[in-house]
Structure 1
Amino acid sequence: MGIRSGPCFIKGPALLEPEGNISMVHAVKGVVVRSKGAPATLETILVPEPGPGEALVDILTSGVCHTDLHYKLGGISDDFPFLLGHEATGVVSAVGPDVTDVAPGDRVVLNWRAVCGNCRACNRGQAQYCFNTHNATQKMTLEDGTELSPALGIGAFIEKTLVAAGQCTKVDPDADAAAVGLLGCGVMAGLGAALNTGGVKRGDSVAVIGCGGVGVAAIAGAALAGATTIIAVDIDAKKLERAKELGATHTVDSSAGDPVEEIRALTGGFGADVVIDAVGRPETYKQAFYARDLAGTVVLVGVPTPEMTLELPLLDVFGRGGSLKSSWYGDCLPSRDFPMLVDLYKQGKLDLDAFVTERITINQVEDAFDKMHQGAVLRSVVEL
């Protein structure tokens, strides 16, 4: 367990209130990566009291997500040092003076889509695409005053974090924090790729290429929607077995043959109604494109790297019809989707527990990254 540290008073130019009073900050333990590829280290972090539009959250659990690893390796930006962690459940401990949607004591799942309500997406009733999402205005820092960049505007491998109040979504406090916290990123991305972006319906056929955490969540989402043929595609037998446990009706080992032909063979020779690429490589996207039925849907939810390019015959794009979609955060609206999915979890209709492979302490994050590299876990979850 991390060492619980209390609030303290620290005097400095950035912490003086307008009247000259000294503002309170909290000295707590958190996981930081200082430079590209450096190890994740447990350090003392200074977290200010919430200002307007902000909330202070005591973290209960935080999943170790591939996105955190991307930050660590410099694959997202070079704004080091990063405060890692973002897939989290917590309890609101304080809010800014103008915050009304959450209050101290609320159990919340943190999200990185705090909608603004005023951008062009929000104004046309598509808040799930909000182009101007909010983060906390104040900065968390190291003890020497170095400002930290919190992962996805959250930074949840820490005892307390400061976020925009809109990043807090209230959920049932009786639900297991470790399980429902995974809705904050990877599990929601996969579920939403099927339910929201892909629009999977009862009786549909669905293929999911890549059965890591996001992929198996997409499989669970397809099962939840009532798809009758759900095909899991991967090169790892253990991942394929796990996919079956979460709803796959068929599995395809893509190292042993052509997955496009296998998917067609399992769907009457036509291809699947919805094919979800949870890998995000040109090769897997082409497989998804050609493995769908005419007028079917391709969903890209795996995140490509900047150097990747895709080449497809334009005539095939036209001739096969249908939809080619990218799924951002599962096209979720946290205020709508999180409470609904938590209710389904509590009813036994959505097995979020299956995604929690192990529960670890905040000191074990670096080890969890190693297990992630090995493909040994769906999620390691830090408990504080």
Structure 2
Amino acid sequence: MSGENDAPAMPDTMRAVVCHGPLEYRLESVPVPVPGPGEALVKVEAVGICASDLKCFHGAAKFWGDESRPAWAETDVVPGHEFVGTVVELDGEAAQRWGIVVGDRVVSEQIVPCRQCRYCLDGKYWMCQRHDIYGFKRRTPGAMAEFMLFPRDALVHKISADVPPAHAAFAEPLSCALHAVERADIHFGDVVVVAGCGPIGLGMVAGAKSKNPELVIALDLAPDKLDLALECGADLVIDIGSEDAVERVRALTDGYGADVYLEATGHPSAVGQGLNLLRKLGTYVEYSVFGSDVTVDWSIISDDKELDVRGAHLGPHCWPAAIRMIESGRLPMDEICSHQLPLAEFEKGLELVDSGKESIKVSLIP
């Protein structure tokens, strides 16, 4: 199954971004990984950069203000957990387990579960106690490289070769957004508010719209992102820089407030906004990576409104739906995947994500 008779000889080395600590990411020449039994070698076509990559690049000082809560990337690790690639080598065991062959276009879920902890044994693999996510631990090197390994316990999905590489790599953030939507338990008559129109927020808009609620409202400060939210399915957008979102939503709901609030900004002010914007017995779903502590009036959740407050992590069971949504062509993927850069310009890519003003999704093309 390795394709040795018809595939070109593999190089011994490859280019890869390697983490040596906060602000110490370097493009280096490293050995091409060699797949062991039941593993697959994949040639990376695209890898996206997300907020958690940025957090680990900057380390504790920028995001938490002290060393007591450091960024959680190990050193000597290749970053990158949202990616797509082509299978170049695997054995029969891997081929049978994943239903793939050499030449297939594949993505892998960002977590490689241990399959032995209490969460994995209970079917909650995305909360695996060991929590090996590509690009953060030495056991699971990531995709900011020309080649990468899929370990035996990886969760692998095929994706159409007709989809542009950067679009295919968006399956990871889109699956995360769809999981948050699933956590929201949206009903037909609901008014749903999505805060933030970055990659995750836009995916939330599309996912929420697919649930057919009464109204999907998107919030952001950037007019171009609000326009993109309309293309993704929002019925209404609110520029929170020029309009009071809480008052507008109350006006639209006979003074009650929204049924569901999905937070995707990572800004502390969006948390209080959501709690105030929801009706009594409403549902708040949090997905963001925050750069500082959040302080709110906790009694809003209990005494005032008896809210359901739910977290959402990774994209369990949502990858097939995310892939179908991308393959369908229904999303404005050219606008969402706004920047593609060569691997050597990874620092520029991190700067674009850090700014957040010029880009939506930034991807590296090895």
Shared fold, TM over 0.5:
yes
Go from structure 1 to structure 2 and tell me whether the alpha carbon gap of 1:52 and 1:308 turns closer, same or farther (over 3 Å shift): farther
Aligned to 1:182: 170
Shift in CA distance, 359/48, structure 1 to aligned 2, threshold 3 Å: closer
Q: Decide whether the 8 Å contact of 1:280 with 1:300 is kept in 2.
A: no
- Map 1:308-323 → 2, pairs under 5 A: 308-314=293-299, 316-323=301-308
What is residue 97 of structure 2 aligned with on the other side? Answer: 101
Give the match for residue 311 of structure 2: 326
Match of 1:229 in 2: 215
Kindly report which structure 2 residues correspond to 1:59-74, keeping only aligned pairs within 5 A, or say none. 59-74=44-59
Give the aligned partner of residue 140 of structure 2: 153
Which of 338, 346, 352 is matched with 2:327 structurally?
346
Secondary structure of 1:72's counterpart equals: helix
C-alpha distance in 1, partners of 2:73/2:113? 25
Equivalent residue letter for 1:51: G
Distance 1:115 1:351, change over 3 A: farther
| Cα 1:151–1:219 shift into 2, 3 Å | farther
Are the aligned partners of 2:33 and 2:147 in contact in 1 as well (CA < 8 Å)? Answer: no
Instruction: Specify the alignment match of 2:237 in structure 1.
Output: 251
Kept in 1: contact 2:217–2:235 (CA 8 A): yes
Change (3 A) 1:79 1:150: closer
Q: Are the equivalent residues in 1 in contact too, given 2:349–2:364 (CA < 8 A)?
A: no
- Give the secondary structure class of the aligned counterpart of 2:197: coil
Name 1:44's counterpart in structure 2.
Answer: 29
The alpha carbon displacement at 1:107 in A equals 2.1
Aligned to 1:363: 344
Quote how far apart the aligned CAs of 1:285 are: 0.9
- Secondary structure class of the residue paired with 1:329: coil
For residue 375 of structure 1, what is the aligned residue in structure 2?
A: 357
Corresponding residue of 2:63 = none
Query: What is residue 192 of structure 1 aligned with on the other side?
Result: 179
**1:112 paired residue among 110, 113, 134:** 110
Q: Secondary structure at the match of 1:165?
A: coil
Q: In the alignment, what sits opposite 1:88?
A: 83
Structure 1 residue matching 2:120: 3-state secondary structure: helix
User: Structure 1 CA distance, aligned partners of 2:177 and 2:221?
Assistant: 19
Cα contact 1:135–1:164 (8 A) shared by 2 = no
For residue 279 of structure 1, the aligned residue among 217, 242, 265 is 265
In the other structure, the counterpart of 1:167 is 154
Instruction: Summarize the Cα distance change of 1:107–1:78 in structure 2 as closer, same or farther, 3 Å threshold.
Output: closer
- Supply the RMSD in Å over aligned alpha carbons: 2.8
Q: Name the structure 2 match of 1:77.
A: 72
Residue 328 of structure 1: how far off its partner (Å): 0.3
Q: Does the 8 A contact of 2:275 with 2:301 survive in 1?
A: no
Bigger mean CA deviation after superposition, 211-220 or 63-72: 63-72
Output the CA distance in 1 between the equivalents of 2:120 and 2:75.
Answer: 31
Cα shift at 1:238 = 2.0
Q: 2:257 and 2:225 mapped to 1: Cα distance?
A: 22
Change (3 A) 1:207 1:72: same
SS of match in other structure, 1:293? strand
Which letter maps to 1:121?
Y
Distance 1:151 1:286 in 2: 38
Instruction: Tell me the secondary structure at the aligned position of residue 50 of structure 1.
Output: coil
The TM-score normalised by the length of structure 2 is: 0.83
- What is the distance in 2 between the residues matched to 1:151 and 1:222? 36
Q: Cα deviation per residue 1:192-227 (whole Å; 9 max; x = unaligned)? A: 211x21122334211111221111111111112212
Q: Is the 8 A contact 2:73 2:137 kept in 1?
A: no
Structure 2 CA distance for aligned equivalents of residues 338 and 120 of structure 1? 23
Specify the SS of the correspondent of 1:369. helix
Partner-residue secondary structure (3-state), 1:202: coil
Q: Which residue does the alignment assign to 2:283?
A: 297
**Conserved in 2, the CA contact under 8 Å of 1:55 and 1:163?**
yes
State the SS of the aligned residue for 1:101: helix
- How far residue 59 of structure 1 moved from its aligned partner, in angstroms, is 0.7
Any idea what the Cα deviations from partners look like across 1:81-105, whole Å, max 9, x if unmatched? 4422221001222346853423442
> How far apart in 1 are the matches of 2:210 and 2:335?
15
Tell me the SS of whatever aligns to 2:170: helix
Letter in 2 for 1:376: E
Q: Separation in 1 of the partners of 2:159 and 2:73?
A: 37
Work out whether residues 15 and 29 of structure 2, in 8 Å CA contact, stay in contact via their aligned partners in 1. yes
Q: Which residue of 1 aligns with 2:205?
A: 219
Percent of aligned positions that are identical: 26
Q: Distance in 2 between matches of 1:313 and 1:44?
A: 51
Aligned-pair CA distance for 1:168? 4.4
Cα deviation for residue 149 of structure 1 reads 5.4
Unaligned runs of 5+ in 1: 9-25, 137-147
Counterpart AA for 2:41: L
Query: Which sections of structure 2, spanning at least 5 residues, go unmatched?
Result: 1-7, 61-70
In the alignment, the residues of structure 2 paired with residue 353 and residue 119 of structure 1 have an alpha-carbon distance, to the nearest angstrom, of: 40
* Aligned-pair CA distance for 1:133: 4.5
> Which residue identity is paired with 1:66?
A
